[in-house]
Structure 1
Amino acid sequence: MNPSQEPAPQQYGQVPQYDTQPAYPFGPPSEAMAWEQPRPPHRSPRRTVSVMAAVTAGLAVAGAPLGLLWSWLAPSVPVINAGRNGIVVNDPSPEEYVAADAWFTLLGFGFGLLAAVLIWMLLRRDRGPALVLGVTFGGLACAVVAWQVGRLVGLSAWDEWQRTSAAGDTYARPPDLRTHGALLVIAFAAVIVTTLLAGWSNDPDLDLPGAKPGYGHDLTDASSDSPDEPDPTAAPAPPAPWPADPPRG
Structure 2
Amino acid sequence: MLRAVLFLLAACGLGALAGVVWWAVVDLPVFVVGANGGASTSQQGLTQYVAGDAWFSLIGFVVGLGIGFAAWRVFRRIGWPVVPLVIVASAAAALLCWWVGWELGPGPFPPRLADAQDGASVPIELTVRARVAVLVWPFAAVMVVLLGASLGRDDEEPRPLFRKPRRVAPPG
**More off after superposition, 76-85 vs 190-199:** 76-85
TM-score normalised by structure 1 residue count:
0.56
Query: In the alignment, which residue of structure 1 is the partner of 2:80?
Result: 129
Query: In the alignment, which residue of structure 1 is the partner of 2:158?
Result: 214
Tell me the percent identity: 26
Q: Distance in 1 between matches of 2:76 and 2:155?
A: 13
Q: Distance in 2 between matches of 1:96 and 1:148?
A: 20
Between structure 1 and structure 2, the one with the greater Rg is 1
The 5 A counterparts of 1:1-249 are 47=1, 50-82=2-34, 86=38, 88-92=39-43, 94-121=46-73, 123=74, 126-156=77-107, 161-162=112-113, 164-205=115-156, 213-214=157-158
Deviation, 1:82, is 3.5
1:157–1:98 CA distance, 2 compared to 1 (3 A):
closer
SS in 1 for 2:81: helix
SS in 2 for 1:75: coil
Aligned length: 159
Aligned-pair RMSD on alpha carbons?
Answer: 2.7
1:183–1:198 CA distance, 2 compared to 1 (3 A):
same
Does the 8 A contact of 1:78 with 1:171 survive in 2?
yes
Deviation, 1:153, is 1.2
Which structure: greater helix fraction? 2
Unpaired runs of at least 5, structure 2: 160-172
Does the 8 A contact of 1:51 with 1:130 survive in 2?
no
Q: Distance in 1 between matches of 2:101 and 2:40?
A: 21
TM-score normalised by structure 2 residue count:
0.77
